[in-house]
Amino acid sequence: MILTVTLNAAIDKRYVLDRLVEGNVNRVRECTYTPGGKCLNVARVIAAVGEPVIATGLIGGHAGAYIEEALQKFGVESRFCHVGGESRSCVNIWDTEGECQTEILEPGVAVTQQDFRKFLSMFSDLASAAEVIVISGSAPTGLDSKVYQPLIETANVHGKKVILDTSGELLKMGIESRPYGIKPNLDELRSLTGRDCSHLEDIVEAACEIHKKGVEMVTVSLGEEGSLTVCSQGIFKASVPKIQAVNTVGCGDSLTAGLAMGIREDLDWETVLRRASAISAASAMTEGTGEVSVKDIKTLLPQITVNRICDRKEV
C-alpha cells in the first residue's frame, strides 16, 4: 500500500471559459470540482492505475467532508485528521482562446500544534502499514517549514521509503531528515543549490550534490523535456514524445505517483522512469487534474526513451 500525505488539502475548481478578461465579468462555460492538493492528485492517479493507496492529512469543515466523499468516487480510501475551520479551494481557469491557465490558490485552514500532534500519532500507525509514503504540497497556516521533518523521521524509524515533493523552505528543511527521494523542478533545484541549471551538465551536478547528502533518488522534472534522475544505480534521462496537452496541471504529481508505484514494486530504474513518464504524459492528455487513462499510458509507454548517462560508480 502507498500512503499519501496532504497537509493542505483543497477542493480544486476548474473553470473553462472562452477568454479571461481582467477587470471584467467573466462567465464560465463549464466547471468541475475535484478533491485536490498535490498529494491527493498523486493518490487519485495511483487509484486510477489500480494500485492500493490510502490518503491521509488534515481537513476541516464542510469542504473537508466533501473532499472525503469525493475521494471515494475515485476509489481512494481516506484516513484524515479533522481540524477546525474550512479546507481551502484552489481555482484553475482555462482560457480556451489564449490556451493558457491561471491559478488562484487559497492559503488553507489554520492548524494548531495540538492538531498536528494528533495527526502525527495517526500518521505513525498508518506509516507502519505502508510500503511507500508520498508527502507533497504546501503546509497550512500555523505549521512552520520544519513540519515535514517529524513525518520523514517517523517513516524512517518504520523503515519506509518517503518521496518528498514540495518547494522552498519546506523542501530545504525536509531534505535534512533524509527522505528516500525528492522530485524538484528546475526552479526548486536552483533554489536548493544556488546553481544556474541552464544546461544539462549543471542540472546533473546540482542533482548529484543533493544525492550526496543522503537522498537516494533525485528526480528533476523538466516539463516537455522529460526528467533527469540521479540515484545509486546511475544517472538517467527520460524523454517523452510530443503530445496534445489538454491540462498540464498535476503532471508533476502524476510523475510522482508513477515513481512511488515503481519503487513499491522494486522495479529497475529504467522501468520505473519509463512508466512514470508515460503516466505523467498521459495525465496531460486528460482534462481532469489528477486523472489518467490506462489506455493512454499503454499507448505512450513504447514512445518513452530512458538513457543512462553514467553508471553507479560515477555518481
CA 23 to chain CA centroid, nearest Å:
33
The predicted model gives 2-14 an average pLDDT of 94
Rounded Cα gap, residues 182 and 172, in angstroms:
11
**pLDDT the model gives residue 32:** 87
Rounded Cα gap, residues 278 and 293, in angstroms:
11
Spatial strand order in the sheet of 88-95: 30-36, 10-17, 88-95, 100-105
Band of residue 89 on the pLDDT scale cut at 50, 70, 90: very high
Residue pair 130/1 in contact (Cβ under 8 Å)? The answer is yes
Using the predicted structure, report yes or no on whether residue 241 has a pLDDT greater than 90: no
Q: Which residue has the cell 466547471?
A: 31
- Mean of the per-residue pLDDT values of the chain: 92
Using the predicted structure, report yes or no on whether residue 315 has a pLDDT greater than 80: no
Bridge partner residues of 92 (DSSP): 14, 103
Band of residue 242 on the pLDDT scale cut at 50, 70, 90: confident
The predicted model gives 2-23 an average pLDDT of 94
Residue pair 217/250 in contact (Cβ under 8 Å)? The answer is no
Q: Helix, strand or coil for residue 33?
A: strand
Using the predicted structure, report yes or no on whether residue 302 has a pLDDT greater than 60: yes
**pLDDT the model gives residue 309:** 85
Using the predicted structure, report yes or no on whether residue 179 has a pLDDT greater than 60: yes
Q: Helix, strand or coil for residue 19?
A: coil
Lowest mean pLDDT among 124-128, 174-178, 217-221, 291-295: 291-295
